[in-house]
Amino acid sequence: MNQHFVREKRVDITTLSNGLMVATERMPEIATATLGVWVGTGSRHERPHEHGLSHLIEHMAFKGTARRSARQIAEDIENVGGDINAATSVEYTSYTARVLGADVDVALDVLGDILINSAFDPGELAREKGVILQEYAAVEDTPDDLIYDAFMETAFSGQAVGRPILGTPDTIKSFDEATIRAFLAREYTPGKMVLAAAGDVDHAQIVDMAERLFGGMPAVAPQQPESGRYTGGERRISRKLEQANLVLGLPGLSFKDPGYYAVHLFAHMLGGGLTSRLWHEVRETRGLAYSIDSFHWPFSDCGLFGIGAGTAGSDVRELMDVTLACMAQATQDISEIELVRAKAQMKVALLTALETPGGRIERVARQLLSWGRVVASEEIVRKVDALEVEHVREAGRRLLQSAPTLAAIGPIKGLPSLDSIASGLQG
C-alpha cells in the first residue's frame, strides 16, 4: 500500500455524559482553527407538516439569541477575523466557524449560543421565510436545479428522503416558533451531535467548553427515520426552454453496504471525468451535450445512482439511446486500465478532502455519526484496492436490472417512453 495513505493525524475523542461526542485533531502547521457542530438530522427526519423545517432552522440560527442580536452574532465572529456558516442536507445539519486558534473560545461560545439559545423572534422568522420563498422561486426558475429535485422526489416517491430540502411555499409559510421548538426537542439531541475541531486546537479546552455549553442538554433516545424505499417512475415537465435537462437513475447503495465502492467506481468510469465513457461518446464523439456525468449518492440505508445531462430537444432520443448503450456495454467490458484510473482518481479525491481543517472535521463528524468511530484512510483504500474488474462489472449489471427513474424538463417530446428505456437497460 502506498505510504502516503497512512499518515493519519491523531483524533482525540471524548463523549460527554449526555452522549454528545467531541473530536479534535491538532494540526501544528495550521494557525487557524475550524470547528463545528454536526447534527445527525436533515430533511429526511421531517414529518410531512415539517417539510423544509431543517433548512429554516439552519437559517434562523443566525437571526438572534437570548444574548445576541443577528448583528452581534456576525460582529462577534468577524471582529476576530472569523467566518461562520451552516448547511442542511438530507441526513445532516452543520454549523461551522473558522477563527484564529487564540479565538476558539469566541467561536465556540457563538456556536453554543445559536444552537441552545436561539430566540426565533416572530419578525425575524417572517423575514427569513420570505428569503427562503425567494430561494424556492429561484430553484423553480433554474431547470438544471429543479430537475434534480424532481428526480429525487420520483425515485423515493412519497417519502421524506426524496423531498426537496427547501420545503414548499405552503409548509414554509406555516412554520411558527412552537413547530420549531418541538422539532429541536425531538431531533437536536446530544446523542445525534458531534462537536469537531481541527487546526490550532487543544482537546481539553474544547471538551471543557463543550461541557459548559452543551452538557446541560438532556439525553434523549434518538428517533430513527423511515427507511428509504426506492420506487422509480418518471416525471416529465414540458417547458419552452432552449435545452432539455434529463436525469436517468437507478437504485444505488447505502454507504454502509459492502458493495458501495464497486458501484461508486462504476459510476465514475461511466461518467466521472474527461476519460469516462459517457463523456467520450456523448460529448466528444457526437457533440450531443456540453456536459454529461454520472453519480452515486449514498445515504445511511439506501442510495441513488444517476446520469444527468442537458441537450437540444431534437437530440433527446439519440442522447438517451447512446446513454443506454454505454451503460449496457460498460457492464460487459470495463477494462483493467479504466479500473486503475478510477481507483487513482478516487484516492486523490479522498486525500484532497483531508487537506483542509474543514474537510477533516466534516469527515470525522460524519463518520462518528454514521459508524461511531473514525474510519482511517488506509481502511477505505484497502477496500477500493481489493476490487477487481469483474466486481465492478457485476455491480453495474445489478444496477441495470432495476426499474429506472426518469426526470426531464424542457423540450422533451422526442424522449422515449419509460418502458422503452427500461427495455434498453436490459440490452
Helix (H) / strand (E) containing 84: strand 83-88
Residue carrying C-alpha cell 454520472: 294
Is 408 exposed, middle or buried (CB count within 10 Å of its CB: 0-12, 13-18, 19+)?
A: buried
Measure the CA angle with vertex 137, ends 233 and 178; round to 5°.
Answer: 90
Q: Could you confirm whether 226 is annotated as catalytic?
A: no
Secondary-structure breakdown of the chain: helix, strand, coil percentages, each rounded to the nearest 5:
50, 20, 30
- 3-state SS string for 289-346: CCCEEEEEEECCCCEEEEEEEEECHHHHHHHHHHHHHHHHHHHHHCCHHHHHHHHHHH
Identify whether the C-beta of residue 84 lies closer than 8 Å to the C-beta of residue 96: yes
Residue carrying C-alpha cell 475523542: 13
What are residue 245's DSSP bridge partners?
Answer: 310, 409
* Grid cell at residue 322: 447512446
Q: How many helices (H) and strands (E) does the chain have?
A: 16, 11
Rounded to whole angstroms, the Cα distance separating 75 from 71 reads 6
Rounded to whole angstroms, the Cα distance separating 114 from 347 reads 37
Catalytic residue among 25, 46, 58, 281: 58
Q: Which of 425, 322, 19 is closest to 191 using CA atoms?
A: 19
Q: How do beta strands 233-238 and 193-199 pair?
A: unpaired
Check residue 338 and give left, alpha or beta (phi > 0: left; psi -120 to 50: alpha): alpha
Gyration radius from the chain CA atoms? 23
* Catalytic center residues: 58
